Structures are given as structure tokens and as C-alpha cells.
Amino acid sequence: MFFLFGLTTREHLQFTRSATCRYCGRHAPQQVVQRRTKLSVFFIPLITLKKTRVQICTNCGGTSRLSGSGERALAH
């Protein structure tokens, strides 16, 4: 008997906001994306192992991970 395990990462665009990019320094739309890494068995995602939010600059593509304080700053 064998099991087929794997990890799948899905991205969900949560919202886009206008902010100054820390990489290119331009005021450009920044996409806030949630990434979820799930453990899958026979290609069926079962358990969420990791959940992170990243901010992606639409101008240069620079990606930065949002920490807990970064997420709170977005709420204002």
C-alpha cells in the first residue's frame, strides 16, 4: 500500500493598495497576496501547514513578506 503526499501552494489576491515601494521607491499599486501551503494526499489538500501574506509591487515585482505589525498597518 502506498500514499502519495505532496505540498501545494496557492495564492489568493486579497486586495491592491497604493503605496510607496521599498525596492524601487515609486508610488505604485501594491498587491497583497495570501499564500497557503497545504499538505495534500492523493492531490487532495488536507492540512494547511503555512499561511503567509506578501506584498508584491506591480512596478518592479519586488516581494516583501508582511509581518504581524505590517498587517496591522494595512488596517489603517
Q: What is the DSSP string of 16-50?
A: EEEEE-TTT--EEEEEEEEEEEEEEETTEEEEEEE
Contact between 44 and Zn ion per CB under 5 A: no
Residue from 60, 63, 67, 73 touching Zn ion (CB under 5 A): that is 60
Contact between 58 and Zn ion per CB under 5 A: no
Minimum CB separation of residue 29 from Zn ion in Å reads 10
Bridge partner residues of 48 (DSSP): 38
Determine the interface stretch with Zn ion among 10-18, 30-38, 43-51, 60-68 (rule: CB under 5 A): 60-68
